[in-house]
A and B are shown apart, each in its own frame.
Chain A
Amino acid sequence: MSQSKNIIELTDVKKVYDNDTVAVDSFNLEVKKGEFVTFLGPSGCGKTTTLRMIAGFELPTSGQILLNGEDISNLPPNKRPVNTVFQKYALFPHLNIYENIAFGLRLKRIENTYVNKKGETYVKKQKLTKAEIDKKVKKALEIVDLEGFEKRSVSTLSGGQQQRIAIARAIVNEPEILLLDEPLGALDLKMRKEMQIELKKMHKKLGITFIYVTHDQEEALTLSDKIVVINDGEIQQIGTPDEIYNEPVNTFVADFIGESNIFNGTVVGKLKVKFCGATFDCLDDYEINQLVDVVVRPEDIKICSPAEGRLKGKVISSIFKGVHYEITVAIGKFEIIIQSTSTAPVGSVIGLRIEPDGIHLMEKVYTVNRYDGVITKTNKVEFGDGEFECDVTQLYAGSSLDEEGYLITAQGEKTDLAGTEVNVEVDTHDIIMTDDISAGGAQGNIISMIYKGDHYRYIVRTEENEEDYVLSCPDLWNTGDLVGIIIPKEKIKISLKHDGENDR
């Protein structure tokens, strides 16, 4: 009977707005009765849209929302046993506090069973009596700690008090699920902290399932039993605060929750990963030559003597943060942030140690290859140990090329592009491998291939500078094959390098 324990289930929920923007996609979630679940993500990630679909203000484009096993996907909000606490309170300004809280109760019809003279039982739908409403409103005000506010008008309350009334107005209806849409967003920091504690207490006392939306990771970690991290309309990770913090599944989660050092790494052996120019033992098993993102929390890096450390670096800065120091260390061109209770003088060289359980590997989610490139004299672009034809007019809007190969800008100025440094982006789907190695702009060996269900993902590495091309291809090649790399002219995206812009 594990199924019946799920109070709400979202299966493959998708929401597409009229203008074709996909707000939420393939959203699958199960929430158990009495859980405190938080939707966490940056603004515009689809977390509020999902909440609004549960409340009934938006209807999903496809997919199902089941409440206690029943499909409620297309029910209007007034037919759903859920109540919402709105971000901006949404208290009715024309009603006093009592009437605001009683709003839902006055609309409620409960079924009472009676026995008539013949001894038959019959059910009558009835309004709540005045005394019942009185009692419930009073109790709700007690729960939010605002007894005696019945006759006050909404405008006389502070933001925090209004928020409490909004909560009282929702919980007085005894909903199966309480939805909270960034309820503390408009409060100041101190008030927010107080309300967090109270919300947690209320959740314990009432035993109602809470679904909470926030973009504040600290709030999510403090309050929740379960966190759903969302980005770009898709669930990134579902887990307890502990799991989300300690075992982030991808760099987005790692970056969004807490502070992280994120490096590009390569798996070089069984449970061995190379990043920042050194090889480390790790606990995550990936195939050899797999490119990975390496996430290391600042508190997992230990300072030791230069001789003992796997990494050696120079301290650039050290800032006292109260409980710990935040130390920035430069190792070659990399920068690492460390949190430590002891400090080291700026300019000194220290060693760094990272235990295997402090290193989290994540498969790189590759959609684009990024390179540093240079425009050649023939208006080709040189990158990744190769030379490719490209459309250089995309560098300046409205520009064109004259017969001699000079670029004419929209303003009519003539420029020679040779030697211009550019950022190059190529989608993994746009790179083609060929047997004819001279036909491509570059060539290399296939060093890795992973079957991805409907296609293979290959990594081709050049010999000269060990540049990697990551590409998807439905055909089967062999590891070690020497191949030519073809990229169609129009698929190469180039942009000017600006000063001070760092590419990762």
Chain B
Amino acid sequence: MRKLRFSRSQLCIPYAAFLILFVIAPLFVIVYYAFTNGQGQFTFSNFLNFFASTNTLGTLLYSFALAAVTTLVCLAIAYPTAYILARSGLKKKYVLLMLFVLPMWINFTLRITALKEILSLIEGNISAYPFLNSVIGMTYDFLPFMILPLYTSLLKLDNSLLEAAADLGADKFTVFLRVTLPLSVPGIISGMTMVLLPSMTNYVVLDMLYNSTYIMGSLIGSYFSAYDWNNGSLISLVLLVIILIVTLVTNRFSDKDAGARGAVL
């Protein structure tokens, strides 16, 4: 009997098929809808609608601000946490790491509902603080995505580099500033990417917190639920371009560092 043998390229076929069917093709559909009107004629009017309206532009800015603040709050909480987890000789550190990962095992709806109850207990009328609540909700939701990449990049950090820096005259703070921090940049970048992009669109958190403010995700949702595929697609396309720019910019950082990290091996 002949053995079944697959070449590498043959093994790629299922993934490639999936990619074409569910990623590439929809992309073209989005582009098509974004530049046509309801009658299927080519137009820039969706485009103009978006950028001429202060409403939509305001939403874009608001989402961006919300995402940026969420990301920074996540970073501020996650970095010290990951640092302690990775660098200290804490005996029970896996328990601590588990505590941060464990919420991911609990259903998202349940978590946010619980958070809502807690927030209304503290704030009374939770709709009075939409921005704050959104930041809290998203931070709660996305924090593990920030901690994990930071934790891995700090864990990989070669202890002898820190010793070398101290040996060359650096005090603890200088060692952190000049060695630990620059070498954890790849972790910071990937953590930020994993928090920034979803928090621009994840309007479910806002909805569940009885939040009436709009972010990019809610905008697309509202257009689509009104069967306005064209305007919804255009906003998706705008988001896509933003994501593309962010990825390109961050890749420049992480690529440089990836090459440099290879040298340690």
Q: Chain A: residues with CB nearer than 8 A to chain B? A: 55-57, 76-78, 82-84, 86, 88, 90-94, 103-104, 107-108, 153-155, 169-170, 173
Contact = CB atoms under 8 A, between A and B. Distances in A.
B163 A154 contact: no
A154 B169 contact: no
A55 B167 contact: yes
B161 A90 contact: yes
Interface in B245-265: 257, 259-264
B84 interface: no
Interface residues on B, range: 20 to 34
Main SS at interface, chain A: mixed
A27 B229 CA distance: 80
Contact of A173 (B169, B183, B260): B169
Nearest to A57: B163
A57 B168 CA distance: 12
A153 B163 contact: no
- Top 9 nearest A-B pairs by Cβ distance? A155-B263, A104-B168, A90-B160, A90-B164, A93-B260, A77-B166, A107-B169, A154-B263, A94-B182
A76 B257 CA distance: 30
A349 to B, nearest CB: 58
Given A77-B167, A86-B163, A92-B164, A107 B179 contact: no
Contacts of A88: 158, 160
Contact of B260 (A103, A107, A153): A153
Given A88-B160, A90-B161, A93-B183, A155 B167 contact: no
A155 B259 CA distance: 8
Nearest to A77: B166
B171 interface: yes
Given A104-B169, A107-B169, A93 B160 contact: no
B179 to A, nearest CB: 6
Contacts of B166: 56-57, 76-78
B165 interface: yes
Given A78-B170, A169-B168, A90 B163 contact: yes
Contacts of A91: 164, 263
| Among B160, B170, B257: residue with most chain A CB under 10 A | B160
Given A57-B163, A88-B160, A94-B182, A155 B260 contact: yes
B174 interface: yes
A416 to B, nearest CB: 49
Contacts of B168: 78, 83, 103-104, 107, 169-170, 173
A211 B82 CA distance: 37
Interface string B186-228: 0000000000000000000000000000000000000000000
A159 to B, nearest CB: 11
Contacts of A82: 167
| Among B169, B179, B261: residue with most chain A CB under 10 A | B169
Contacts of B178: 103
A88 B160 CA distance: 8
A391 to B, nearest CB: 37
Contact of B263 (A84, A93, A104): A93
B55 to A, nearest CB: 45
B160 A78 contact: no
Contacts of A86: 160, 163-164
Given A88-B160, A90-B160, A90-B164, A107 B174 contact: yes
| Among B164, B167, B170: residue with most chain A CB under 10 A | B167
A56 B166 CA distance: 9
Given A56-B166, A94-B182, 16 more contacts: A56-B167, A57-B166, A78-B166, A78-B168, A78-B171, A82-B167, A83-B167, A84-B167, A88-B158, A94-B183, A94-B260, A103-B165, A104-B168, A104-B169, A108-B169, A153-B259
A93 B261 contact: yes
11 contacts: A57-B163, A77-B167, A78-B170, A88-B158, A92-B165, A93-B183, A94-B182, A103-B168, A104-B169, A169-B164, A170-B167
A170 B163 CA distance: 13
A110 to B, nearest CB: 12
A107 B170 contact: yes
| Among B166, B179, B183: residue with most chain A CB under 10 A | B166
Contacts of B158: 88, 90
A104 B169 CA distance: 6
Nearest to A18: B89
Contacts of B261: 93
B263 A153 contact: yes
Nearest to B256: A94
A86 B262 CA distance: 18
Contacts of B167: 55-57, 77-78, 82-84, 170
Nearest to A88: B160
A110 B95 CA distance: 47
A56 B171 CA distance: 13
A104 B165 CA distance: 8
B186 to A, nearest CB: 10
A77 B183 contact: no
A104 B174 CA distance: 11
Contacts of A83: 167-168
A90 B183 CA distance: 13
Nearest to B159: A90
Nearest to A157: B263
Contacts of B161: 90, 92-93
A425 B122 CA distance: 73
| Among A77, A86, A170: residue with most chain B CB under 10 A | A77
A84 B167 CA distance: 7
Contacts of B174: 107
A154 B261 CA distance: 10
A94 B178 CA distance: 10
Contacts of A104: 168-169
Contacts of B165: 92, 103
A326 B260 CA distance: 50
B170 A93 contact: no
A91 B164 CA distance: 8
Contacts of A154: 260, 263
A94 B164 contact: no
Contacts of A108: 169
A169 B167 CA distance: 11
